[in-house]
Amino acid sequence: MSHWLSLLPLDDTIPDPIKTAISSASAEGDTAWVLTSAALVLLMTVALAFFYGGMVRAKNVLGMLMQNFYCIAAVSVLWVLFGFSIAFGGSNSVWGGLHFALLHHMDEIIPGGTYTTPTLAFFAFQVTFAIITPALITGSTADRWRFGAFAIFVALWSTLVYDPIAHWVFAPTGWLFKRGAEDFAGGTVVHANAGAAGLAMCLVLGKRIGWPKQAMKPHNVPYVMLGAGLLWFGWFGFNSGSAIAANNLASYAWVNTNTATAAALLGWIIVERIRDGHATTLGAASGAVAGLVAITPAAGFVTPYGSIALGAIAGAVCCLCTVIKTKIGFDDSLDVVAVHLVGGILGALLIGFFGDKATGIGIDGIFKGGGGHLLKLQAEDVGATVGYSFVATLIIGYAMNLVFKHRMPEDQEIAGMDISLHGESAYDMGAGTSGTLVGAHSVSTPAPAPAPAPATSAYSTASPPSAPSITMPSPLTPPATPSEA
Amino acid sequence: MSHWLSLLPLDDTIPDPIKTAISSASAEGDTAWVLTSAALVLLMTVALAFFYGGMVRAKNVLGMLMQNFYCIAAVSVLWVLFGFSIAFGGSNSVWGGLHFALLHHMDEIIPGGTYTTPTLAFFAFQVTFAIITPALITGSTADRWRFGAFAIFVALWSTLVYDPIAHWVFAPTGWLFKRGAEDFAGGTVVHANAGAAGLAMCLVLGKRIGWPKQAMKPHNVPYVMLGAGLLWFGWFGFNSGSAIAANNLASYAWVNTNTATAAALLGWIIVERIRDGHATTLGAASGAVAGLVAITPAAGFVTPYGSIALGAIAGAVCCLCTVIKTKIGFDDSLDVVAVHLVGGILGALLIGFFGDKATGIGIDGIFKGGGGHLLKLQAEDVGATVGYSFVATLIIGYAMNLVFKHRMPEDQEIAGMDISLHGESAYDMGAGTSGTLVGAHSVSTPAPAPAPAPATSAYSTASPPSAPSITMPSPLTPPATPSEA
Amino acid sequence: MSHWLSLLPLDDTIPDPIKTAISSASAEGDTAWVLTSAALVLLMTVALAFFYGGMVRAKNVLGMLMQNFYCIAAVSVLWVLFGFSIAFGGSNSVWGGLHFALLHHMDEIIPGGTYTTPTLAFFAFQVTFAIITPALITGSTADRWRFGAFAIFVALWSTLVYDPIAHWVFAPTGWLFKRGAEDFAGGTVVHANAGAAGLAMCLVLGKRIGWPKQAMKPHNVPYVMLGAGLLWFGWFGFNSGSAIAANNLASYAWVNTNTATAAALLGWIIVERIRDGHATTLGAASGAVAGLVAITPAAGFVTPYGSIALGAIAGAVCCLCTVIKTKIGFDDSLDVVAVHLVGGILGALLIGFFGDKATGIGIDGIFKGGGGHLLKLQAEDVGATVGYSFVATLIIGYAMNLVFKHRMPEDQEIAGMDISLHGESAYDMGAGTSGTLVGAHSVSTPAPAPAPAPATSAYSTASPPSAPSITMPSPLTPPATPSEA
Amino acid sequence: MKLVTAVVKPFKLDDVKAALEAFGVHGMTVSEVQGYGRQKGHTEVYRGAEYQVAFNPKVRIEVVVDDADAEDAVAAVSKAAQTGSIGDGKVWVVPVETLVRVRTGERGSDAL
Amino acid sequence: MKLVTAVVKPFKLDDVKAALEAFGVHGMTVSEVQGYGRQKGHTEVYRGAEYQVAFNPKVRIEVVVDDADAEDAVAAVSKAAQTGSIGDGKVWVVPVETLVRVRTGERGSDAL
Amino acid sequence: MKLVTAVVKPFKLDDVKAALEAFGVHGMTVSEVQGYGRQKGHTEVYRGAEYQVAFNPKVRIEVVVDDADAEDAVAAVSKAAQTGSIGDGKVWVVPVETLVRVRTGERGSDAL
Ligand SMILES: Nc1ncnc2c1ncn2[C@@H]1O[C@H](COP(=O)(O)OP(=O)(O)O)[C@@H](O)[C@H]1O
Ligand SMILES: Nc1ncnc2c1ncn2[C@@H]1O[C@H](COP(=O)(O)OP(=O)(O)O)[C@@H](O)[C@H]1O
Ligand SMILES: Nc1ncnc2c1ncn2[C@@H]1O[C@H](COP(=O)(O)OP(=O)(O)O)[C@@H](O)[C@H]1O
């Protein structure tokens, strides 16, 4: 992210007050794009919830949606409190300190920063990255994590794993940034990081009951496609917005993002067609996401035709990797490893080959005659982020297990997260078996422990619990009591 | 909304033509953000349709979607005709007159306006607010309102209730605006207003048949989450776009919006966890919306850490308010009162405590040492908008009842709005019981009154109505007539 | 599209370096809006997939989604390779040549171009138009096209039909552009073109088995509404983004788009109410799309109140046209002809009446006293694009039929595209009949031809295929083998 | 033993369940079905194409009871499900030769 | 009385309904079911994991008829549902001891 | 002939199918149902409104078998569906008078 720089052609002959005014005028356009991009990236976590939610079984869809919405909420608050400061404050190369805690000092530019937008706009953009990274992990741990344990994990992981890694790579004062590692929008910080953490957590949690023998098909493939479509849309903010300006570099990132994603979709479904006999829609959605992941670190460092190659490789390789888990036997439920860990690493390393300074930033890679230097930097970045993430996540996961269980009890897992954890059903087609209202909770009349007996209901004076006898009037057609107020 | 002002650092030494050119250049960025925001807010009504549509029973989902899409259509046309003019034209402090009717004079700035974008862009943004306000009411009146009556109500209400209130608070010439009431993006104009109207209309309409004894669970919670996610996304346009510029104030509004929403989500599910034993996804979605509502008036007047408190209070309080209706007995079906009326009022009043002029606009509230003056202004704003809205809506509702019935006949309500009002089924899983094509309508052969008898069909020469006998060829495998043209 | 022009008030007295700097500053705002718009238009094809996907039967929804996602992928790659160059390169008035192939020379402005954004941003915007045009065709050919044949068709059609037509009308060097035809955002290039091609292909493919006698109702109307809502949202990018600047013209286009769409929605449902006895939600969605189509060519050439008339006409006329296919007997399955061909032509011709140079570009139409000249130009544009598209598509369609079949085998069509073509089911509600996992594919152990016999599975050492006997432990509650790693 | 099958209006399910419970029957199996009969269906129109839908949603309730209870169960169900309007549904009884509780292998009345 | 149950291909429902109407039967209860038998199922593949789905969608039609009509009803339904390809389904008949029309309490043939 | 109806836990369907196949039965008809009985349901809460859901999802398996096989089929199904916990379900048998294979018109055992 060494690429925030004003690209305005400000001639030295221009008087300073005019320069300042023109820069400010130009910054409005940049701010417009960054605020738009921030909104787009926020939407990505909602999209991810549907991408994943469609892939799980119908009894777990709300559990999945809830985990993702919780990530948005928890990280948003944490980042105002101290997360942003740890990632982007101070001049220490390992962590950022608490200078920006509670979003104080937002009238300052972050140390080393060269963006033209308000720092609050920069915060808006960055917080959305911090949100989606733990959310990505939920794909590998689907269907079995107690909500309370998950909630605590996210707070710990975001602070102890994401924030430092973001500082190392994204902050101009971070040690990997200073060594010259190229990660345009988070291939290592977001995707390889989340992939490594996903691998760690699916080892900590263990397999789902019944996996891999029992059928665990997607319950709603259109939701998966909706999620993939909205992810594609939002990812323009993720990658192109990472220029932190509305300029030629942002345009490069936009075009590279779209091109690599398209090529990866094609790469994935071609492999499927050859290997499985069918090109699938789930494959198309997966290929698109694999491409988006792989182009993320590279979006501002390669050319559009380079993106075709990079995307096609990512789509094909990630597709081939999805079957490894079944062979080895770890239940990375929705293939976070195959798509985000493999895709993120691939993208980061392929910059070493396809890197092209024609985009205006970065250095040339091997195919452009730049030699292996860039590849070495990239490998170092990958090694550091993936290694730290995997080990730190394992430690957090096992340490938490000392205090309380991550997993739901077996019968709850079989009944599904929606009913067991959240007391809800995702779908109700009105067949009449959907239940009977037994009361309205209030603070003064606390909820009974889940039990079949009807609670004393708030309107029990009107219809005492003894009412359900065969002589009671139908609730639908009350003959005696007029139904209108 | 006393906050539209050019924040460009235009030194007095700069020659005028250069100033003009720089201002114009800067306005492009503002216009980019305002047009983007306008699109985002338009999307919010679609999102709202799904937020509400998922909460109703499967037999009423299309009825709900239709009411919301109708609001978009009707208000869009009305606002070109005269709505915008009533809200933003003229210098009268009570209503805006017809100067801008038919969108004439769009080359002028609205009276007192200080925005830099074209007035048409300002119109684009404002029309989307006028659209969503009546749409919010549909939550309290779900499942029982005849479409024809609803259609007329929206036209009347938009013109007689929304347009004047928008003038009072949003237009620089409006009386509440001039007194100094702070409503950044419509906490009173949009949310408290819609909430008060929702309360009025659910009293006018009366309870749904079977409420509260019969189970009326959400038929599709993922739709609710999709709606909530898209609302969150669109609300960045609503609040941050209300800066009518892409600047530091817009960045404040973006960050406050996200932060308060996150805190409210957490506040709501923590109350649920304690009271009901479960944190629910519906609760997470509801908490997010409560937070969005409460931060709406405050988005440009408080700091991010203030937003955490404001959001958490709103989430917890709105959650506690949802059970009141069941106790008191008014069928505010989807809790427009608890979320929008309570949330909107809370947000408006809490500015009186958390108000902080550090954002660059507004005045300090009680916690910043500004004393109770701001709180008084806010209370006045709330009283005027809520009072007017509630009374005027009651009058419109009861007056319409003199002419024709608001409610559907009882058997139609039991069959559901989709079949009864719109002649459609939302879902058809292809079981074979979904019906037989009996004809294609045209103007010359008008539709028969709904009756089981097959109409004369457009292709009856090919297959006469007498065809359905047991010897007829299967329509799926026509042996004699080749199926290809 | 003769409307890209810098509208900055750059006085001649301003020194050149300052002019350059101010222009660059202004361009940031334009670029912000164009990149945003490009993302919005990309989203439109996803939206279209749901608009169409909800309308087909449940067994074909994935087939429909797949065709649309494939269009995004294939055209994105083709346009980097040569599509953009054919459309916008060179000075030939019939085709653009290969100057921009592989996106070389992106530091140049396209011949005759007057936009201020980077050419890569212009590419980003234009590629999304090239994507959606073939995607629109999938509505008329729903439920019956083999995926392989479709895939080849899209590549051919995009190159041989879309690219040249885009050159003629959109490129400043194209022959229709030079004659003065007004097509602001693609009423002829995109919609009438796709409509004509849709008509041709539904003739080539022939009717669906069972059409029109068998019931073919939408399987999920909320998806249709979601698609329509997202289309409306995205279309602000399509039309307003076509100003290629964030200025007054873009604001006009935004407002006209919204207004005409609203009026068309009302026009459609009023016709339905009179003709069919019901205003339907499908009608509301269809009317909105008809309005969006019709305003597309006109968005920058008419006034908002003109848009009301234009939209209302389009909604009513397109509604009346949907029943023609049943009477004549061509299976334009989802009414691409009635909505896109009729709507696109209507919009293009109505500019001849409503054209108003008050928007800052274009010339006056008949109602503004401009006489019939503009109408003649428009008719010529329509004739050329529709005629070429229809004939060229027929030729491509029939020529492909010489080599291989377009249609799926009859039993596959009856079973549905999802299972037959893609080996997937869209929905699985977890009833237990959803299948048994028989293996994980890898390249070294290629997939068996679809056959009931269990393949040698990747984890067969753990559970040999002979396991499924009545004494085997339940996969859900394995008593012996612990379920956690 | 007897199998009592009732096809009734969906919103009557709660009442039927309550009636059976009052009568001492605490088990049943319920499924969603579509019924065709005297009750008229409805019309749907999609873009001008009119569909006649002859079926109405119903629930189908199956209860196995002792021979001696069959007649009373039928009466209780019929009474509870009645609204008096067309489409209230049918109740029928077929003989059951064997009944097993899967959990215990118990047979006959013990399996209830 | 007899209960005729037919499990047939979904797209044959309209034909079966028409056949029964032609025969004078104007009532039936229909449900969605999944059938397993000689007809082969299909394969699905999700990210390389292959599933064998043995079941095919069918509709299950239940018609209560008078004893005398049972045989003819079976014949009419069988004929109407026939396509000649594997998986056309089954029709079976079980005895019904009681039939009640819920709305009126009518019994036996009167309840039809 | 006999119609064996089993109402069992959904995840047991594969085991029951395998058991029937092992026993030589290669056909069945399956539907989704909701069961009510000793097994307790669950509670749901939406915005503070508490619902008691008494029903649990089950699958209903119908198998027509020869008279001679009925008893063994019941035993095989019961055994395969058993988990030992409450709610395992029921199996019951009713007499079938006629069975027809729609495709061929074959009757009785030939139709299996
Ligand atoms: N002959 C029949 N066999 C099986 N089910 C029937 C039969 N006739 C009617 N039904 C079922 O009973 C329901 C009600 O029947 P209907 O004739 O509409 O009203 P009613 O029973 O009040 O006269 C139907 O929807 C259908 O499910
Ligand atoms: N023994 C059985 N008991 C109940 N239903 C059966 C039985 N055998 C088959 N079926 C039902 O009949 C349908 C068709 O049977 P199948 O063997 O596939 O074809 P066919 O009847 O043409 O030989 C199956 O899908 C299933 O629903
Ligand atoms: N009398 C009955 N008639 C029909 N089905 C029943 C009856 N009783 C129970 N069932 C079915 O059997 C299932 C299991 O019964 P339940 O009483 O919960 O457990 P168990 O059979 O283990 O004692 C129920 O969910 C229901 O589907």
Q: Whose CA is nearest to atom 20 of ligand 2?
A: E87
Three-state DSSP at A246 gives: coil
pLDDT digits (tens, 9 = 90+) for C192-209: 999 999 999 999 999 999
Q: Going along E28-83, which residue ranges are E strands?
A: 28-36, 42-46, 49-53, 56-65
User: What pLDDT does B7 receive?
Assistant: 61
pLDDT > 80? residue A464:
no
pLDDT digits (tens, 9 = 90+) for B65-116: 999 999 999 999 999 999 999 999 989 999 999 999 999 999 999 999 999 9
pLDDT digits (tens, 9 = 90+) for A169-202: 999 999 999 999 999 999 999 999 999 999 999 9
Degrees, nearest 5: CA angle A340-A345-A349 = 150
User: What pLDDT does A443 receive?
Assistant: 55
Sign for the CA dihedral angle at A206, A210, A211, A217 comes to: negative
Structure tokens at A384: 């550091």
Q: Is B229 on the interface with C (CB under 8 A)?
A: no
pLDDT > 60? residue A484:
no
CB D67 within 8 A of CB D2: yes
C-alpha A218 to ligand 3 mean position (Å): 30
Closest ligand to E32 CA?
Answer: 2
Three-state DSSP at D61 gives: strand
Strand E49-53 versus strand C436-440 pairing type:
antiparallel
pLDDT digits (tens, 9 = 90+) for A71-129: 999 999 999 999 999 999 989 999 999 999 999 999 999 999 999 999 999 999 999 99
Mean pLDDT calculated for residue range A286-307: 98
Q: CA–CA separation, C82 vs C104, rounded Å?
A: 10
pLDDT digits (tens, 9 = 90+) for A134-173: 999 999 999 999 999 999 999 999 999 999 999 999 999 9
Percent of chain F with pLDDT over 70: 100
pLDDT > 90? residue B360:
yes
CB A234 within 8 A of CB A40: yes
User: What pLDDT does C102 receive?
Assistant: 97
Give the long-range contacts of residues A81-86, CB within 8 A, separation 24 or more. A81/B305, A81/B308, A82/A159, A83/A127, A83/A130, A83/A158, A83/A159, A83/A162, A83/A163, A84/A123, A84/A126, A84/A127, A84/A130, A86/A159, A86/A163, A86/A164, A86/A167
Q: CA–CA separation, B300 vs A120, rounded Å?
A: 13
CB A354 within 8 A of CB A298: yes
User: What pLDDT does C103 receive?
Assistant: 97
CB contact under 8 A, C214 and E11: yes
Backbone angles phi, psi at B176, to 5 degrees: -75, -40
- Find chain D residues with C-beta within 8 A of F31's C-beta: 31
pLDDT > 90? residue C89:
yes
Mean pLDDT calculated for residue range A282-286: 98
Give the side-chain half-sphere CA count within 13 A for B52: 31
> Cβ-count burial of A228 within 10 angstroms (0-12 exposed, 13-18 middle, 19+ buried)?
buried
Q: Is the peptide bond before A9 cis (omega within 30 degrees of 0)?
A: no
CB neighbour list of residue C327: distance below 8 Å, 6 or more residues apart: B440, B442, B458, B459
CB A167 within 8 A of CB A95: yes
Q: For chain D, which chains pass the contact test of at least 3 CB pairs under 8 Å?
A: A, B, C, E, F
User: What pLDDT does C442 receive?
Assistant: 67
> Cβ-count burial of B414 within 10 angstroms (0-12 exposed, 13-18 middle, 19+ buried)?
middle
Q: CA–CA separation, A181 vs A129, rounded Å?
A: 19
Closest ligand to F110 CA?
Answer: 2
Q: CA–CA separation, F18 vs F24, rounded Å?
A: 10
- Find chain B residues with C-beta within 8 A of E12's C-beta: 432, 474
Least confident of B15-19, C110-114, C117-121, C283-287: B15-19
C-alpha E63 to ligand 1 mean position (Å): 9
Reported ipTM: 0.94
CB C392 within 8 A of CB C380: no
Least confident of A377-391, B234-248, C21-35: C21-35
pLDDT digits (tens, 9 = 90+) for B440-476: 776 544 444 333 333 333 333 333 333 232 233 333 3
CB of E28 sitting under 6 A from ligand 1: yes
Q: pLDDT confidence of C7, banded at 50, 70, 90?
A: low
DSSP B84-146: HHHHHSSS-SS---STTGGGTTTTSPPTT----S-HHHHHHHHHHHHHHHHHHHTTTTTT-B-
Q: For chain F, which chains pass the contact test of at least 3 CB pairs under 8 Å?
A: A, B, C, D, E
pLDDT > 90? residue A2:
no
Residues 17-76 of F with CB under 8 A from B: 44-51
The pTM assigned to this predicted structure is 0.94
Q: Identify the closest residue of chain D to B418 by CA–CA distance.
A: D44
pLDDT digits (tens, 9 = 90+) for D14-65: 999 999 999 999 999 999 999 999 999 999 999 999 999 999 999 999 999 9
> Cβ-count burial of C349 within 10 angstroms (0-12 exposed, 13-18 middle, 19+ buried)?
buried
Find the helix packing angle between A163-170 and A119-137, rounded to 10°: 130
DSSP B357-411: GGGSSS---GGGT--SHHHHHHHHHHHHHHHHHHHHHHHHHHHHHHHS-SBPPHH
C-alpha D58 to ligand 1 mean position (Å): 10
Distances (CA, A) of A247 to A363, A364, C35, F1: 19, 21, 10, 79
Within 6 A (CB) of ligand 2 lie: E 7, 35-39, 56, 58, 86-90; F 27-29, 62-64, 101, 103, 112
Burial B216-226 (b: 16+ CB within 10 A, else e): bbbbbbbbbbb
Three-state DSSP at C1 gives: coil
Q: Which of F72, F79, F27, F34 is nearest to F53 (CA)?
A: F34
pLDDT digits (tens, 9 = 90+) for C234-283: 999 999 999 999 999 999 999 999 999 999 999 999 999 999 999 999 99
CB neighbour list of residue C409: distance below 8 Å, 6 or more residues apart: none
Task: Please give the mean pLDDT across all residues of chain A.
Answer: 90
User: What pLDDT does B431 receive?
Assistant: 75
Tell how far CA B157 is from the center of its chain.
Answer: 14
Best of D38, D53, D82, D90 for a ligand 1 pocket test (most atoms within 8 Å of beta carbon):
D90
User: What pLDDT does C429 receive?
Assistant: 87
User: What pLDDT does C26 receive?
Assistant: 87
Distances (CA, A) of B425 to B59, B459, C282: 8, 24, 10
pLDDT digits (tens, 9 = 90+) for A327-362: 899 999 999 999 999 999 999 999 999 999 999 999
* Alpha carbon of D78: minimum distance to chain C alpha carbons (Å): 30
Three-state DSSP at F58 gives: strand
DSSP secondary structure code for residue D55 in this structure: -
* Alpha carbon of A433: minimum distance to chain E alpha carbons (Å): 16
pLDDT > 60? residue B3:
no
Q: pLDDT confidence of C443, banded at 50, 70, 90?
A: low
pLDDT > 80? residue C418:
yes
User: What pLDDT does A442 receive?
Assistant: 67
Percent of chain A with pLDDT over 70: 89
Q: What H or E segment, with its residue span, contains residue F35?
A: strand F28-36
Q: pLDDT confidence of A319, banded at 50, 70, 90?
A: very high
Q: How far apart are the first and last CA of chain E?
A: 10
Burial E19-43 (b: 16+ CB within 10 A, else e): bbbebebebbbbbbbbbbbebebbb
Q: pLDDT confidence of B480, banded at 50, 70, 90?
A: very low
- For residue D28, what are the β-bridge partners? F36
Structure tokens at B293: 């509502």
pLDDT digits (tens, 9 = 90+) for F17-69: 999 999 999 999 999 999 999 999 999 999 999 999 999 999 999 999 999 99
pLDDT > 50? residue C4:
no
Strand F89-95 versus strand C436-440 pairing type:
unpaired
User: What pLDDT does B442 receive?
Assistant: 67
CB A62 within 8 A of CB A417: yes
User: What pLDDT does C454 receive?
Assistant: 36
Q: Is the peptide bond before B465 cis (omega within 30 degrees of 0)?
A: no
Q: pLDDT confidence of C350, banded at 50, 70, 90?
A: very high
Mean pLDDT calculated for residue range A432-445: 71
Q: CA–CA separation, C457 vs B193, rounded Å?
A: 62
pLDDT digits (tens, 9 = 90+) for A223-252: 999 999 999 999 999 999 999 999 999 999
- Find chain A residues with C-beta within 8 A of E46's C-beta: 217-218, 280, 282
Mean pLDDT calculated for residue range B360-374: 95
pLDDT digits (tens, 9 = 90+) for C137-177: 999 999 999 999 999 999 999 999 999 999 999 999 999 99
Instruction: Considering only the beta carbons, identify the residue of A414, A431, A437 that sits closest to F51.
Output: A437
C-alpha B184 to ligand 1 mean position (Å): 60
Q: What atom of ligand 1 comes closest to residue D55's alpha carbon?
A: 25
Three-state DSSP at C360 gives: coil
User: What pLDDT does B12 receive?
Assistant: 82
Backbone angles phi, psi at E41, to 5 degrees: -85, -145
pLDDT > 80? residue A453:
no
Distances (CA, A) of A394 to A148, A204, B103, B464, C46: 18, 7, 62, 72, 38
Mean pLDDT calculated for residue range D105-112: 94
pLDDT > 90? residue C485:
no
User: What pLDDT does C246 receive?
Assistant: 96
CB contact under 8 A, D44 and C323: no
Q: pLDDT confidence of C433, banded at 50, 70, 90?
A: confident
Structure tokens at C18: 């300052």
* Amino acid letter, A429: M
pLDDT > 70? residue B177:
yes
- Find chain B residues with C-beta within 8 A of E18's C-beta: 468-470, 472
